[in-house]
Amino acid sequence: MKRVFIVALCLLFTVSAFSQTITVLAGPDTKFDASTGIPSYYGYAESLLKKDYPNVKVKWLVLDLSDGSTLTMDALLAAGTPPNVYIDSTVRASKYMVPEYALPLDTYIRDLDKYYPTSLEMFRVNGKLLGLPNNGSAQGMAINLDIMKEIGYTVPDNWTIDDFLKMAELVKQKYNGKKWATGMFAGNQSGDYLINNWFASFGANWYNNKNYDKAVVADNGGAKVYEFYQTLVKNGYVPPNCATLVDDDYVIQWASGNLAATAFFPNWCKPYFDTVIQQGIIDKPFNYKFVPFPRAKGVTKVGTYANYTAIVVHKTGKEEDKIAARLAEYLNNPVTGNLFAEMGCLVDRKDVKPCSDVHFQQVTKIVQENGIFDFGLSDRRFTERRALQYPILQQVLMLKITPEAAIKKFQDALSSVK
């Protein structure tokens, strides 16, 4: 009788464990070509989960991104109904990628060896994997090859800041203020990653070892970055009104062929080329390629800016954690990974082929060989801190503050956000 009772309990536990509803909060589903046989990104991941847990139901909730905030997630948490899985840009999801909320995934995800270590790094907090990457994008230094040909310059492998400044002077001499060596803007915070990658060139880390409580950018030589910016301004290597320009100005300047070498994303190229061609600014796209950012003396690798969609699993301490983690694993499977890659997304797995477009391959190689620069993107305070630099940068570009005073002011501002 006792044995029968124990068996009955086991059966009851099995049924209850597998007759659960897993909730997922995400953006609108991503549709793929019907020829793949995959109805949708989310649908395919769910079909894989169903093979492991036939009786589990998945309820999909849609993010409200009308104001670009974590509005939906905050409301669900306040109501006591947080989703088991949260899928969103790392910029927002980082708020919940904390030990108090997120399930450490190291022991749950069975194919972590298939990931590039650099793609997982931003999802680790105190050594624990609190999220998984999904489709992402990264920038590289976009070189206008037509300008290079006209000035007679070839970008060397592993080029340096000195190489860059030599190129900048050639651009100035050739075009006399009609085209510039690179782009610069400080009108607002939007697109600041296009400018901030220069910190990586100088090895000026914003934080040490993911300690986001204390900024160290001034202590790590950040003044040299602002000094470099002022050199660009003083020598006419950037637009003279750059302090008041915004990222919209920057991208049009690039697409119009007016910037020799500057940060850009490969998936931005065609849309912006189409825009300036339709406006009659250029007749056809210029030739270009992506290379790593130039490096200052003593810097061996220059990481780039990258942003992924994050997959975060809520920690409940119940059996559903295992099921939710399995769904997270399937959400970044190699089949849909290859589809995302061909659409131009950054490759984060070794078993996924990069996009066949040569420019996407160039940026993928840059990321794999140089890594990702840590701007604190995965920290919950990133969004609040992001607005702190551009007023200081305006003063830098208008030559109204010394590099040393400016970087100290920026470091103190970052550290003040608790």
Domain boundaries, the chain: 2-136+307-369, 140-303+381-416
What pLDDT, on the 0 to 100 scale, is given for residue 368? Answer: 83
The pLDDT, as a whole number, for residue 30 is 54
**For residue 379, what pLDDT band results from cuts at 50, 70 and 90?**
confident
What span, in angstroms and rounded, lies between the C-alpha atoms of 56 and 21?
A: 6
Longest CA–CA span in the chain (Å) reads 95
On the question of pLDDT at 67 being above 80, the answer is no
| Cβ atoms of 153 and 277 closer than 8 Å | no
Which numeric CATH code is attached to 140-303+381-416? Answer: 3.40.190.10
pLDDT recorded at residue 52: 97
pLDDT exceeds cutoff 70 at 64: yes
Residue 417: per-residue pLDDT: 95
| Residue 198 confidence (pLDDT) | 98
Name the average pLDDT for the chain: 90
Provide the token pair at 383. 């969004």
Highest mean pLDDT of the ranges 55-69, 140-154, 183-197: 140-154
Beta-sheet strand order (sheet of 57-62): 57-62, 21-26, 85-89, 306-313, 132-138
Q: Do domains 2-136+307-369 and 140-303+381-416 have the same CATH topology?
A: yes
Please give the average per-residue pLDDT across 67-81, as a whole number: 88
- Write down the pLDDT at residue 356: 87
Does residue 382 surpass a pLDDT of 70?
yes
DSSP for residue 189: S
The arithmetic mean of pLDDT across residues 55-80, rounded, is: 88
* DSSP reduced 3-state for 124: strand
Q: Residue 49: pLDDT band by 50, 70, 90 thresholds?
A: very high
Question: What's the rounded mean pLDDT across residues 174-189?
Answer: 95
Burial 274-305 (b: 16+ CB within 10 A, else e): eebeeeeeeeebeebebbbbbbbeebeebbbb
Q: Tell me, what's the pLDDT at 38?
A: 44
| Minimum mean pLDDT range among 152-156, 235-239, 300-304, 336-340 | 336-340
pLDDT tens per residue, range 303-336: 999 888 999 999 999 999 999 999 999 999 998 8
120 to 58, 330, 375: CA distances (angstroms): 26, 16, 15
Give the pLDDT band (50/70/90) at residue 255.
Answer: very high
Mean pLDDT, residues 36-44 taken together: 65
Least confident of 113-122, 148-157, 237-246, 337-346: 337-346
CB 144 within 8 A of CB 260: yes
Strands 140-144, 261-264: pairing kind? antiparallel
Q: What is the pLDDT of residue 8?
A: 41
Q: Which CATH number fits domain 2-136+307-369: 3.40.190.10, 3.20.20.190, 3.40.640.10, 3.40.50.300?
A: 3.40.190.10
Task: Round to whole Å and give the CA distance between 68 and 72.
Answer: 10
pLDDT score of 31 = 52
Instruction: For residue 235, give the nearest of 156, 181, 293, 186 by alpha carbon.
Output: 181
User: What is the secondary structure of 282-327 as a DSSP string?
Assistant: -SSPPPEEEEPPPB-TT-----B-EEEEEEEEB--SSTHHHHHHHH
pLDDT band at residue 7 under the 50/70/90 scheme = very low
Tokens encoding 408? 């100290």
Q: Counting Cβ atoms within 10 Å, is residue 185 exposed (0-12), middle (13-18) or buried (19+)?
A: buried
Decide if pLDDT at 18 tops 90: no
pTM reported for the whole predicted model: 0.77
* H or E element in which residue 91 lies: helix 90-93
CA distances from 8 to 2, 56, 277, 278 (A): 10, 21, 71, 71
DSSP string, 229-293: HHHHHHTT-S-TTGGG--HHHHHHHHHTT-BSEEEE-HHHHHHHHHHHHHTTS-SSPPPEEEEPP
Candidate ranges 342-351, 363-372, 406-415; pick with highest mean pLDDT: 406-415
